[in-house]
């Protein structure tokens, strides 16, 4: 009959060896995972910036085409652009084309004339 070795003795011998072998392996896996995560984050950030730049370019092109289309529409005899002024809210009754400032209203719950 072979000699019987208790399992806890095997554990006492194997645990330090496993620690020495597994710690560098686990450390390498974690380090690689963090590196990959940082690269993915950087790539996603760059892609977001590219999309933002593309959207800004398209918006600028749309505004430029609207301005170009607006200039070729209807001009009055005095040199003012009539189609652009009619499209602005609040600009129809003002000769300088500025919109009126809104009035400041009191809060709905506060009685008029009373202050705290």
Would you list the domain boundaries of the chain? Answer: 9-72
Q: Which residues of the chain have pLDDT under 50?
A: 1, 84-88, 90-91, 116
Provide the pLDDT for residue 13: 85
Is pTM beyond 0.95? Reply is no
Provide the pLDDT for residue 5: 73
Q: What CA–CA distances, in Å, run from 16 to 13, 20, 30? A: 7, 6, 21
Please give the Cα distance from 92 to 101 (Å, whole number).
14
Provide the pLDDT for residue 34: 96
Provide the pLDDT for residue 19: 87
CA 62 to chain centre: 22
Provide the pLDDT for residue 69: 85
Please give the Cα distance from 96 to 113 (Å, whole number).
36
């Amino acid at each position: 009959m072979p000699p019987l070795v208790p399992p806890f003795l095997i554990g006492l011998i194997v645990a330090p060896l496993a620690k020495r072998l597994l710690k560098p392996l686990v450390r390498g896996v974690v380090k690689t995972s963090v590196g990959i995560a940082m690269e993915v984050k950087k790539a996603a950030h760059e892609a977001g910036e590219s999309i933002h730049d593309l959207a800004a370019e398209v918006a600028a092109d749309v505004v430029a085409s609207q301005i170009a289309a607006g200039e070729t529409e209807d001009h009055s005899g005095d040199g003012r652009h009539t189609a652009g002024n009619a499209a602005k809210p609040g600009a129809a009754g003002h000769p300088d084309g500025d919109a009126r400032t809104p009035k400041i209203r009191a809060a709905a719950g506060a009685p008029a004339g009373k202050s705290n």
